[in-house]
Amino acid sequence: MVQTLEAIRRLEGTVLDASELEGVVLRYGAFYGPGTSLAPGGNVVEAVRKRRLPIIGGGTGIWLFIHIADVAEATRLAIEGGPPGLYNIVVDDPVEVSVWLPELARVIGARAPYRIPAWLGRLAAGEVGVRMMTEQRGSSNAKAKRLLGWQPAYSSWRDGFRGGLGAEKAA
């Protein structure tokens, strides 16, 4: 995971520091909505439905989500004239795994996820999975909103899950 993050940072730096071009870097949150793993029938939703995605450790990892339609709109705005820079394309409210995972289960009509200790999580999900569940940190979308003029349709993951997943589930 550390090597991957270093490679991403190096790539972002190369784009942003290039003198021959103006670079825009978009960092997206966890996708949800049609065609993603967080959609009815998607891998994550089905794992939650079958209680195969537990909360690992304290579930203190902070996640930021983004509906796939908001991804498309932010990307369009950036391509069509966003000033050079790095932008976080995420919802307004970061949330701990211990909060969003049970809410997702509730929205899709599934039972609450199991909780397992981190040592057991390492066996099931590996070190990266444990870190995502326990150590991941959020980021702010303020720059994207200010400089791109972007506003997510679902500013809250909770509203997005209810409207973006609950409505799709009913359909």
- pLDDT tens track, the chain, 171 positions: 556 657 666 766 666 666 676 778 899 999 999 999 999 899 999 999 999 999 999 999 999 999 999 999 999 999 998 898 899 999 999 999 999 999 999 999 999 999 999 999 999 899 999 999 999 998 999 999 999 999 999 889 998 888 867 544 433
User: Which class would CATH give 28-170?
Assistant: alpha beta
pTM score of the predicted model: 0.82
pLDDT digits (tens, 9 = 90+) for 11-37: 666 666 666 767 788 999 999 999 999
Q: Distance between CA atoms of 77 and 87, rounded to whole angstroms?
A: 11
- Rounded to whole angstroms, the Cα distance separating 47 from 25 reads 31
Domain boundaries, the chain: 28-170
Q: How do residues 126-138 score in pLDDT, each as one tens digit?
A: 999 999 999 999 8
